[in-house]
A and B are shown apart, each in its own frame.
Chain A
Amino acid sequence: MRTIIRKELLDHLRSVQFTVLLAASIVLFAANGLVFVQQYTRLNTDHHKDVAVNDQQPSTMMTRLYRAPSPLLFMAEGGEKASPKGYWLSPKLTLYPLSAGTGNFKMPDIPELDWAFIIKIIFSLYVILLGFEAVSGEKERGTLRLVLSNPVGRIKLITAKYLAIISSAAIPLLAGLLISLIVIGVFLPAVLGPQNLVRIAFLFMLALAYLSLFAFLSLFLSALIPRSSLVLLVLLAFWIFFAFFIPDTSSIAAQKFSKVPSEYEMAKLLGPTIQGEVWKRIARIQDRIQKGELKTERDVLDEANRAYEEGQDSVRKLYDDYDNAMQERAALAQRISRVSPAALFQYAAEAVSETGPKAEARFFRDVRNYSRVYDDYILKKVGKVVGTSPWSFSTGATLNGKYINLQSPFPQEYAGDKSDFPKFSESRPSLLDGLHNGLWDIAGLLVWNIILAGLAFSAFIRMDVR
């Protein structure tokens, strides 16, 4: 067995594919490390500056909650660049996103060069290139029956071939990862704490599990199809299908299949909601003045404030519904794309790196928790919690010939001592939480492995090697 593995491994190590993969891996991972160092340094400096500025301006009207950049962005960026760096928070959990503003939207849409991408796209392709000939190539050359005429079991042979493919992909992968880590370690040693190193090691294992399924797929098709060039063609079709077609069409498919209303359908409710929930309530005030139900200016203003508050609650609810609908759709897109092992790997990598939609959802949980503390604080200091929405309203009413300006109420600033202003802090989830998030994805990768391994072994055992 060891002899076979050694022979196979040596064959791979001498191949063009291996040399190019090693070179590509080194270049890409080094670029990844350098880009991350620059990006993270900038993001982190900005984050600390932003938080410090906000801490100096405690306010009961609005406060800013910033999201700390993930120190593991280099592993899986997870769309963090496009999401806001934080939110304005007003009382009653009114959120307004702060600009994201780091990406150039005019650039061609090319995915981030993170570890997940390099492994998902480039390495999987090279595993195919290393493995497509494993059986069919030997059969074409006639060496397969020679090998099997020796006392070598078929299971042993294919296991050896599998191990050789995985090791020849693991060597450049390890080399690349180390280079990326060295670059990061030199410039940002703080990033590579023991916690993160465990996560990195875990991602490496996930990568092997992901690449392993491509190795099994290659062996399976290589045993099934007699001509290696055809094997390669079919493998590349799978690769395109898994790595591009499914993940990239899932978002459109989600829109098609989801019952969730589209952005436009939600947006068109905005006008009628404001009309029905705010202006109708306000219009009733003038009626009640005429009927003599509201006698003093105070009555009118109190009534207007109540009407505005209720109206604003409805408007805010519409925005919340919209946010939920969009999140639901994005989640559906993710679920659809999970058909592809490349997507499973991407989401598992995001779970380990604490990036992506799951990490954003965790941030929102923290924000919700903080919002309660914030509202309690405002209640204690100001006496009432006034909710707003992205809209403010203003109109007038006349009482006994006097014009009264009816302005939708704003939260008030507390003028006294705010040294006990509550600080916002993000929860720091452990690796176990991350794994819990990525459990289904990791399980999915293993299932793919088991199925493909079964297929590869059975195809090879039944194969006519003559």
Chain B
Amino acid sequence: MLRTIIKREILEYLKSAKFLIGLGITLALAAGSTVINVQDYKGRLQDYQAAMQEMKSDRFYIHLYRPPQVLSTLIQGKDRKLGNSITVTYLDIPSTTSGYMGEGRSQHHRLVSGFAAVDFAFIVRVVLSLMVVFIAYNAVSEEKSSGTLKLTLSNRVPRDQLLLGKFLGGWFVIMGSLAIAALASLILVLSHSFIAFASGEWTRLLAFIGLSAIYLTVFYAISLFVSVLVNRPSISLMILLQAWVFLIVIYPNLGIIAAENIYKLPSQEQLAQQKAAAFQPYEAEQKKVQEAFGQAVRTGGDVPKEIALRNVDLWALRANLSHQVDEEYGRKLAAQTNLARAISSLSPAVLFDQAAERFARTGIAEYERFMREVYRYWQQHVERSKLIYTDREAYKKAPAIEFRVPVEPPAEAFAATWLAWLLLAFFSLAFFALGYTAFLKKDVR
């Protein structure tokens, strides 16, 4: 019996104009955005590879580059917005990455600010979720208003099986649409020779598609629930669209505003003061060392070893203390962000976005991994720089320090996003259960 209902529902959907139009729109937008994002990735990859070859570090300026993530072709996250380069010296560790033109000079922000990402994640979050609403808003209400519901139930069809059949029928159609859109985008991505997925990337991609499936299920369960509850299809569509706008556009925005007002951040002036205060005890000594150093340089003589060494030490200490202040500030930024997410965690879109970025390695977590590695590299670089004054031979022989950001195993991404998965699954089940019980009690006349 269940199979008959499912089959009928699927056929019904596949024949409907709204499904065909919806799928057409989804495919067009998915293809358009993927083509654009692949081109963007290509440009960024070329720049990154060229920079690694052509803009190499010298003894003083260490240029480190952040590679673009291949999955940003589907889930752009912040990959494009965050700068791709950082230049450290033993005098300084910048608090953030910047464009290739360097900190303070790069106009990178001009090209990215104010633009949100239109990518496959957007297609799932906005376009497919909207299609889900359109598929399911009249699943029950239409049958009720046209009178077929009581006819169906006058046969020997148990109510629970009918609803389950309807649910599964629609669900298969939605999953099919998701699969088709994902496949189309994936083919577009993989048809380019410069793109290759590592095995970890495939796991991540599958996880992302699983996440998309649960996310769409949430909207599907909500839609079905409303469709059971409300008898007129046009009203149920209106209610669902309002809920959709609220959950996807309004609520996340209000969450951020609330977090920004609840969790205040220190100003740039305060940070500068903290940095100055941290180095205050060494200020006088540095001035003395600087003078001695400058004197030696101006006269063309050799800088005494202990002065040179202390000079590097003090500058590195200043950079390190500043870095600690920046780190603390970075933690506050993260705390504010987490608060915003916590406030808006009832929105499936926020949960979805957060987990999707994590899986694509295009979010802040990956950026923070990169920055941690930058700091580790910097520490080694300072030690190496000191060798110039202590053991010139050893300095010349010392191999280049390798900069490599360890790849996060996909399991770690799962561990970091389990709550999002759980909440999404919970919402799906809860709304399905609500719809189910409402349907069992429903007056079908």
Contact = CB atoms under 8 A, between A and B. Distances in A.
Contacts of A100: 109
A233 B117 contact: no
A102 to B, nearest CB: 8
A358 interface: no
A28 B134 CA distance: 26
B118 interface: yes
Contact of A247 (B17, B115, B256, B364): B115
B347 to A, nearest CB: 11
B55 A268 contact: yes
Given A111-B114, A252-B36, A122 B50 contact: no
B127 interface: yes
A107 interface: yes
Interface stretch (B164-172, B232-240, B420-428): B232-240
Contact of B252 (A28, A106, A108, A256): A108
B336 A104 contact: yes
A252 B113 contact: no
B102 interface: yes
B239 to A, nearest CB: 7
A327 B108 CA distance: 10
B298 A255 contact: no
Interface string B112-129: 111111100010001100
Contacts, number: 208
B31 to A, nearest CB: 12
B416 interface: no
Contacts of A263: 47, 99-101, 106-108
Nearest to A402: B300
Interface in B282-309: 297-301
Contacts of B96: 105
Nearest to B330: A106
B333 A125 contact: no
Nearest to B297: A405
Interface residues of B, number: 85
A256 to B, nearest CB: 5
Q: Is the interface of B mostly helix, strand, loop or mixed?
A: helix
A248 B113 CA distance: 10
B250 interface: yes
Contacts of B341: 108
B134 A229 contact: yes
A129 interface: yes
Interface string A105-121: 11111110100000001
A271 B337 contact: no
B333 A106 contact: yes
A301 interface: no
B109 A83 contact: yes
B118 A110 contact: no
B112 to A, nearest CB: 7
A22 to B, nearest CB: 12
A322 interface: yes
Interface string A192-219: 0000000000000000000000000000
A267 B101 contact: yes
B74 to A, nearest CB: 14
B298 A104 contact: no
A152 interface: no
B81 A109 contact: yes
B102 A267 contact: yes
Interface in A103-155: 104-111, 113, 121-122, 125, 129, 133, 137
A113 B354 CA distance: 21
Contacts of A16: 235, 238-239, 242
B442 interface: no
Interface stretch (B18-26, B198-206, B400-408): B18-26
Interface residues of A, number: 84
A134 to B, nearest CB: 13
B54 interface: yes
Given A109-B116, A229-B18, A249 B336 contact: no
Given A232-B237, A330-B110, A271 B36 contact: no
Contact of A398 (B40, B239, B298, B300): B300
A393 interface: no
B55 A255 contact: no
A35 B249 contact: no
Given A232-B237, A247-B115, A263-B100, A31 B249 contact: no
B86 interface: no
Contacts of B102: 267, 390
A402 B250 CA distance: 72
B245 interface: yes
Given A16-B238, A403-B300, A405-B297, A262 B47 contact: yes
A453 B353 CA distance: 39
Interface string A234-265: 10110011001101111111111000001111
A326 B110 contact: yes
B116 A248 contact: yes
A41 interface: no
A20 B336 contact: no
A408 interface: no
B78 interface: yes
A435 B213 CA distance: 48
A31 B241 CA distance: 22
A107 B336 contact: yes
Contacts of A251: 111-112, 115
Interface in A350-375: 357
Interface in B21-42: 21-22, 25, 29, 32-33, 36-37, 39-40
A268 B50 contact: yes
Given A245-B32, A252-B36, A236 B117 contact: no
- Max count, chain B CB within 10 A of own CB: residue among A82, A263, A329, A402: A263
What are the nearest 3 A-B pairs in CB distance?
A403-B300, A267-B100, A264-B47
Interface of B: 17-18, 21-22, 25, 29, 32-33, 36-37, 39-40, 43, 47, 50-51, 54-55, 78, 81-82, 96, 99-102, 104-118, 122, 126-127, 130, 134, 138, 233-235, 237-239, 241-242, 245-246, 249-250, 252-254, 256-257, 260-261, 265, 267-268, 297-301, 330, 333-334, 336-337, 340-341, 350, 353-354, 364
12 contacts: A97-B104, A108-B340, A113-B257, A125-B245, A228-B234, A240-B29, A244-B118, A251-B112, A255-B111, A264-B47, A322-B101, A322-B105
Interface of A: 15-17, 20, 24, 27-28, 31, 35, 38, 46, 78-79, 82-83, 96-97, 99-101, 104-111, 113, 121-122, 125, 129, 133, 137, 227-230, 232-234, 236-237, 240-241, 244-245, 247-256, 262-268, 270-271, 319, 322-323, 326-327, 329-330, 333, 357, 390, 394, 396, 398, 402-405
